[in-house]
Structure 1
Amino acid sequence: MERIFRYEITEQDAGKDIHEFLRGKKYSRHILASMKPDKTAILVNGVHEFMCYKLQTGDVLQTRVVDPKSSVNIRPAPVPFSVIYEDEDVLIVDKPAGQAIHPAISHPADTLANGLAWYYQQKGIPFVVRCINRLDRDTTGLLIVAKNLVSACVLEQDLLARNIHRTYLAIAEGELPESGTINLPIARKEGSLIERCVDEDRGDRAVTHFFRKGYYPPATNASPESVSTGSVKNRNGYSLVQLKLETGRTHQIRVHLSHTGHPLLGDTLYHPDYLRTPEDPIPEGLPINRQALHSWQLEFTHPITGEAMHFEAPIPEDMRKLLRGD
């Protein structure tokens, strides 16, 4: 994929060399170094110039970045996802449940990356997969995909600076307070490669803000036997919760809510009713077969135009069924 950028130099930037100007546009040193051998990568008024060239008012600086080949080791496959928005620099997708982002030994060709490779292969465009934010395999919702090196570089810096704002919706066990903040450090659980836990001594800072949007009380027609076995859909009641992350630790929402006594419905790692064992890999009689967590809204500044961007993905049907009591 090729992308050409043009900048008209104003009095404010006059006197800067090309290297300084582009660093101010958040080009990384790696991108600038990759441009040096290519005499078409940096042009001023249509003529190739070196990084030390001093820009003048009215100059037109043009840069060119190219991905000549698609991502290696990512096999194109018709994996479904929904496109929410696309322009020359970013792609916003709505990821379904049960779909990992990147291939692994256990799922080499059924991931979002495989689907993205297929999507652009059908257009005849070389494409390198660059997902900016991440979601767990069974978490649904919005993801930012950068379509070129420059947009990826800018968005990654914005993510580190916490300038990409994510809002989630979750369905949690019990009745949460109307609003609050969970400020508890998170670390990898000893003896596990996957599971995380709250750990005051080893954990990294993790802050989650929440707002309860609704509470659904326990079923009134449940028998004592069904309540004791946990087979009813709504044993303790549950809350629809809106969450914003101040930090981005692995499993942060799932760990924080579970630790405070409100695990996500369907969470096979952190909800005791959904824990899976080799003898009982898929518990029966439960209302949802994945954690009820959805990446609902994204807000960020466009990496090239500077425009404020806001996107929203509708809550998926399995979570809607829970809220309807189906």
Structure 2
Amino acid sequence: MEKIEYLVKEKDSGERIDKLAATLNKDWSRSQIQQWIKDGHLTVNGKNVKANYKCNQNDRIVLEIPEPEPLDVIPEEMDLDIYYEDQDVIVVNKPKGMVVHPAPGHTSGTLVNGIMAHCRDLSGINGVLRPGIVHRIDKDTSGLLMVAKNDRAHEKLVQQLVDKTVTRKYFALVHGVIPHNHGTIDAPIGRDPMDRQSMTVIEKGKQAVTHFTVLERLDPYSYVECVLETGRTHQIRVHMKYIGHPLVGDPKYGPRNTISANGQVLHAGILGFNHPRTGEYKEFQAPLPDSFTKLLNELRQIH
């Protein structure tokens, strides 16, 4: 275990301990420091402190850097559909049916298994089972995801999600003909108290905002574009159900009498963000998967 010692200088007096410690090594992120503080690896004058501790001149900081956790996720060679990659970030188009990261009882065949075989240097902020994962999409949702290669890129991308500056446009087929062309759903989402495996619109939930545009009416369905302002679990699926237009094929939130589509017909088609190193805005677009296009064409032929 590596030990780092530092004596606080006069110019650093009054600085938060997590902010100061993060300047001691450019490879350490502030969130990594905060985790080390929480785990008791950093002390000030021999005592544990909180991340918001204000440093005083001549404080003696000791940081014992823990050994990396053994990674239990096995890299698996996959034919990944990578749209962009550099030293900081990967943008990948996830196919329908693929789980993003391992979970108990489901440790192989995930996007993370494939990403790890492609690239070993990933952000460790989300732990050993979700290296590099900045945001997720459901197993049966296809589309674009950004993956961080280092902790600093991860933090900056997550902050953009918090600041609502990431462009995320989804395309979906929903039940019913929506009469108006545009709409905004602003309804809080939280765990369903009657079913802990599901989410629902609930007063004590977290703020959730979805903007939608009707692209095409294919009675008795509507083809829509949904733009996420927030990113709650199952947000589009829950919100569209809430307004009476659940997603076609959705086994959890949709009606029993629906088109068999092996899960919800939902595609994360457009992803845009400011590059974490250069600040340059980058936007990527992935076409609808073949199964989605085929379904739309079949419905158009009926009309």
TM-score by length of 2: 0.72
Q: 1:140 Cα shift? A: 0.5
**Contact map agreement 1:99 1:112 (CA 8 A) in 2:** yes
Task: Give 1:85's aligned residue.
Answer: 84
Q: Which amino acid aligns with 2:247?
A: L
Task: Give 1:189's aligned residue.
Answer: 192
Q: 1:29 Cα shift? A: 2.6
Q: Which amino acid aligns with 2:205?
A: G
Q: Distance in 2 between matches of 1:267 and 1:33?
A: 39
Misfit runs of 4+, over 3 Å: 18-23, 30-34, 68-71, 125-128
Task: Give 2:118's aligned residue.
Answer: 119
Q: Distance in 2 between matches of 1:136 and 1:126?
A: 24
Task: Give 1:254's aligned residue.
Answer: 237
Tell me which of 242, 247, 268 is aligned to 1:264: 247
Give the secondary-structure state (helix, strand or coil) at the position aligned to 2:256: helix
Q: How does 1:9-48 map to 2 (within 5 A)?
A: 28-30=29-31
**Contact map agreement 1:101 1:113 (CA 8 A) in 2:** yes
1:198 paired with 2:206, answer no
Q: Distance in 2 between matches of 1:319 and 1:215?
A: 15
Tell me which of 153, 156, 175 is aligned to 1:154: 156
Per-residue CA deviation, residues 119-151 of structure 1 (Å, 9 max, x unaligned), is 22xxxx444521112101111000000111221
Per-residue CA deviation, residues 150-206 of structure 1 (Å, 9 max, x unaligned), is 21121122222222121111111111121111111212111423211112x322221
Q: Distance in 1 between matches of 2:83 and 2:285?
A: 9
Alignment CA distance shift 1:206-1:71 (3 Å): farther
Q: Which amino acid aligns with 1:209?
A: H
Q: Distance in 1 between matches of 2:30 and 2:70?
A: 21
Alignment CA distance shift 1:69-1:314 (3 Å): farther
Q: 1:71 Cα shift? A: 7.1
Alignment CA distance shift 1:70-1:315 (3 Å): farther
Q: Distance in 2 between matches of 1:198 and 1:127?
A: 35
RMSD: 2.8
Unaligned stretches of 5+ in structure 2? 1-18, 36-66, 124-130
1:291 paired with 2:264, answer yes
Give the secondary-structure state (helix, strand or coil) at the position aligned to 2:116: helix
The structure with more radius of gyration: 1
**Contact map agreement 1:215 1:238 (CA 8 A) in 2:** yes
Q: Distance in 2 between matches of 1:85 and 1:70?
A: 29
**Contact map agreement 2:174 2:247 (CA 8 A) in 1:** yes
Alignment CA distance shift 1:71-1:161 (3 Å): farther
Q: Distance in 1 between matches of 2:95 and 2:68?
A: 27
Alignment CA distance shift 1:71-1:88 (3 Å): farther
Task: Give 1:172's aligned residue.
Answer: 174
Q: 1:248 Cα shift? A: 1.3
Give the secondary-structure state (helix, strand or coil) at the position aligned to 2:109: coil
Task: Give 2:107's aligned residue.
Answer: 108
Q: 1:32 Cα shift? A: 7.0
Q: Distance in 1 between matches of 2:233 and 2:151?
A: 25
Q: Distance in 2 between matches of 1:97 and 1:270?
A: 18
1:320 paired with 2:274, answer no
Alignment CA distance shift 1:33-1:178 (3 Å): closer
**Contact map agreement 1:70 1:127 (CA 8 A) in 2:** no
Alignment CA distance shift 1:117-1:162 (3 Å): same
Give the secondary-structure state (helix, strand or coil) at the position aligned to 1:273: coil
**Contact map agreement 2:237 2:253 (CA 8 A) in 1:** yes
Q: Distance in 2 between matches of 1:32 and 1:104?
A: 26
Q: 1:31 Cα shift? A: 5.4
Same amino acid, percent of matched pairs:
39
Q: Distance in 1 between matches of 2:97 and 2:221?
A: 23
Give the secondary-structure state (helix, strand or coil) at the position aligned to 1:241: strand
**Contact map agreement 2:121 2:150 (CA 8 A) in 1:** no
Per-residue CA deviation, residues 276-298 of structure 1 (Å, 9 max, x unaligned), is xxxxxxxxx93411101111111
Q: 1:261 Cα shift? A: 1.2
Task: Give 1:145's aligned residue.
Answer: 147
Give the secondary-structure state (helix, strand or coil) at the position aligned to 1:170: strand
Aligned length: 241
